[in-house]
Homo-oligomer: A and B are copies of this chain.
Amino acid sequence: MSANSPSPQIVALPGNEPLTHALAEQLDAEQLSLEHRRFPDGESYLRLHGDPRGRRVVVVATLDRPDDKIPPLLFAADLLRDLGARQIGLVVPYLPYMRQDQRFKPGEALTSRSFARWLSAHFDWLVTVDPHLHRYASLDEIYSLKSTVVPAAPVLADWIVREIEQPVLIGPDAESEQWVRAVAETQDLPWRVLSKQRHGDRDVSMELPDMAGLENHHPVLLDDILSSGATVAEAARHLTAAGLARPTVVVVHGLFGDRARELLRHAGVKRVVCTNSVMAPESDIGLSAQLAPAIKAHLQA
């Protein structure tokens, strides 16, 4: 940013105030307040307090349980544009609609592509944390705006070595291997991955890897998303059944479906921790320090 360019502005969608405050400090950004309420008939009313004319504006919106958050988010982008903002970026620590990336059955909606189109049409750039990329190699395959993916691995690893003595990282399934390996490598921690053995259409068993020499380590179950909690709970049951200590669960995005917490408790999980990509009581791992440099790069572009 040139010395005489005005400072960026930052706006929180409802529920994103703590992360927005933290980012405002790191970015030296002016906070604008966005009023959002609902009429008796459920329609959204939005009002921006502040003047974004000619300014670069960062919108912060995490999008777990996304559907009723999407219209207010797009309204906010249109409003900023109407009021003369020069650049509108989106910080979306949890990016939804990454799941349905192909038609597994005929007639299925490719929601990932539609959603990417909507965001790309309303924002100039996007910063997110570890999106659930399956078959897409990068966001650019579906998002036409500029995007940056910030990895959560460094902050997860920091948290683990600070809070847990002698950890061993464990991925609940093959898909989690990429996250587990990334976290383990930043701090040179031991890690293992559980494997699923498929014996038939519905007959799937989990197999514990060789834990020789790690019996006295504290197991840390690691995954990118915790939604129903079923996979992690099953893994936890296998660990305790094998005589290991009750595991700590560390995930990037803690979505916590209806019965997830209960399921994890019953499976013998000692503690669950996630980042503040979604606001939950378990959101103990802050992301603002990781997000700020990526946001700055877009603001300076």
Contact = CB atoms under 8 A, between A and B. Distances in A.
Interface residues of A, number: 50
Contacts of A100: 43, 45
A109 B255 contact: no
A72 B67 contact: yes
Interface string A71-83: 1101110110011
Tell me the number of copies of this protein.
Answer: 2
B46 A118 contact: no
Contacts of A67: 42-44, 67-72
A47 B255 CA distance: 24
Interface in A20-56: 39-50
A265 interface: no
A258 interface: yes
A293 to B, nearest CB: 28
Contacts of A79: 107-110
Contact of A48 (B46, B66, B70, B107): B107
A96 interface: yes
A65 interface: yes
Contacts of A266: none
A41 B109 contact: no
Nearest to A32: B107
